[in-house]
Amino acid sequence: MRVAIAGASGFTGMELLRLCAGHPEMEVVVAGAETQAELPVAQAISSLAAAYPELTFSRIGTEELAGLDVVFLALPHGRSQELVPELVGKVGLLVDLSADFRLREAASYPRWYGHEHRAPELLGEFVYGLPELFGAALPGAKLVAAPGCYPTAAALALAPLVRLGLVSETSVIVDAASGVSGAGRKLSPATHFNTVDEDFSAYSLLSHRHTPEMEQAIGAQVLFTPHLAPMNRGILATCYARPATDTSTGEVMDGLRGAYRGCPFVVVTEASPSTKATFGSNCAHLTARVDDRTGWVVVLCALDNLGKGASGQAMQCANLALGLPETTGLSTTGIYP
């Protein structure tokens, strides 16, 4: 299959290039990167030199992408709204890694993203690409909106328990920490080495733009506080919910195990999840506890923000949409140490 990656020089685009290099059915023929246009991939990203000795970054438009089998859009939020309307019906499968087509309500975009949605008529055409929770709609899909790291971690932790009626749909709290790569490749004062090193900080208090996406995927009202951790990649989400009925740790764990039975990329474990255990893989690790003393249910999820939280998930969605085994080209094992 002939594949294009728009935004190929960013962290998620680079990870997609790496994953496509190990995918037996995909060949990257277009690597779009405006800031790196005409620069050889091997020169710009030395870790990919052996896989792409002749591929060159290019500027792309509709003409370059039309007729390709798969197009991954790894662009900043807002950019896909400009490109997608021109590509609908002209490519075999389009997978968008931005938040541009994840929300069902166009009215949510001005509040959380600061602008009106420029293609609201297409919001209902996209499948939300979280396979473990919404996978039934993926086979045969032509337009997929792949969720990012924070919503994926929170939804995997909480959505099954909401669906089973084990936790309340209100008073849900998500505290999650992300590695610095989650902020993207472009340097800013907040992500400079001297800022991040030896520090741990919360940001976007009460206003993080992924909040409505979490609520949509989980099916509950969420108070979300993100944190920046001094590590390259990884997400650890600690989620709190009030029980909707008398329950126990065993019942909650059984609920998670039942929800993810047969899911190759979700590990439900008694151990406390670790970001290091998921590094470089497409896996999410989950555990849960019910605290009889305070009455809270606690669910933790760890994943690689560039793997299951972005590019790996996009690849998993593409596999399912194309009728391939969902594990094709993806790893279930982390890199350690």
Same domain, 243 and 204: yes
Same domain, 268 and 317: no
For residue 332, being part of any structural domain is answered with no
Per-residue pLDDT, averaged over 144-157, amounts to 97
For residue 312, being part of any structural domain is answered with yes
**Domain containing 189 — which CATH number?**
3.30.360.10
Same domain, 179 and 261: yes
**Domain containing 38 — which CATH number?**
3.40.50.720
Active site residue 239: no
For residue 329, being part of any structural domain is answered with no
For residue 327, being part of any structural domain is answered with no
Same domain, 83 and 180: no
| Alpha helices, DSSP H, located in the chain | 11-21, 41-44, 62-65, 80-87, 108-113, 131-134, 149-163, 193-196, 211-218, 249-259, 275-278, 312-321
For residue 331, being part of any structural domain is answered with no
Q: What's the domain range around 282? A: 149-304
Same domain, 156 and 285: yes
CA neighbor of 237 nearest in space, from 294, 203, 285, 307: 285
Same domain, 225 and 314: no
Same domain, 177 and 293: yes
Per-residue pLDDT, averaged over 204-208, amounts to 95
Active-site residue (options: 20, 149, 239, 317): 149
State the pLDDT at residue 191: 85
What are the phi and psi torsion angles at 234 (to 5°)?
A: 135, 150
- Please give the model's pTM, rounded to 2 decimal places: 0.96
Same domain, 139 and 196: no
State the pLDDT at residue 183: 78
Same domain, 299 and 312: no
Provide the percentage of residues in the chain whose pLDDT is more than 90: 92
Same domain, 103 and 248: no
Same domain, 97 and 230: no
State the pLDDT at residue 60: 87
Number of domains in the chain: 2
Same domain, 126 and 40: yes
In contact, 315 and 23? CB cutoff 8 Å: yes
What are the phi and psi torsion angles at 96 (to 5°)?
A: -100, 125
* pLDDT per position as a tens digit, 38-84: 999 999 999 999 999 999 999 988 888 999 999 999 999 999 999 99
* pLDDT per position as a tens digit, 167-200: 999 999 999 999 998 877 776 888 888 889 999 9
* pLDDT per position as a tens digit, 137-149: 999 999 999 999 9
* pLDDT per position as a tens digit, 248-307: 999 999 999 999 999 999 999 999 999 999 999 999 999 999 999 999 999 999 999 999
State the pLDDT at residue 189: 81
What are the phi and psi torsion angles at 28 (to 5°)?
A: -75, 120
For residue 296, being part of any structural domain is answered with yes
